[in-house]
Amino acid sequence: MRIGELAERTGVSVRALRYYEEQRLLSSERSGSGQRRYAENAVGRVKLIQQLYAAGISSASILEMLPCVVTGVAAPEVLAKLRGHRSSVVKQIEELQETLLQLDTVIAGATKAYTTGVPCPPS
């Protein structure tokens, strides 16, 4: 498929896809005239990249770990980094869950205060 279709199917901009290629996170065949052609599995690849970005992992780290996602083999040092990222993700989840509790408290308190017209006691 061409870049526009891949963009549409992944919800990622054309610019971003070119950027991924620039960072060597995503590869493409080229047509005779130089246009990018992507295989079907590029969709999954792009979604994986987005997921890792969302976990706060940088291009460089993603570049490092992508080969082992594909091949399933990782050198010990890469494996160590993977574990490091894993624990970072765990920590992020924990922090977000704490934030969620905070938000819930605020929302609950604010809702109640608004409906009763009585402000909550200061914390």
Distances (CA, A) of 91 to 80, 82, 101: 17, 14, 16
| Contact map string, positions 83 to 112, toward DNA, x by CB under 7 A | ------------------------------
Scan residues 37-66 and list those touching its own copies (CB under 8 A). Answer: 48, 51-52, 54-55, 65
Residue 78's closest CA among 88, 68, 87, 86? 68
80 binds, among its own copies, DNA, none (CB under 5 to 8 A by kind): none
Q: Shortest Cβ distance from residue 105 to DNA (Å)?
A: 22
Rounded CA gap, 62 and 52, in Å? 7
Q: Pick one of 11, 24, 27, 31: the residue that binds DNA (CB under 7 A).
A: 31
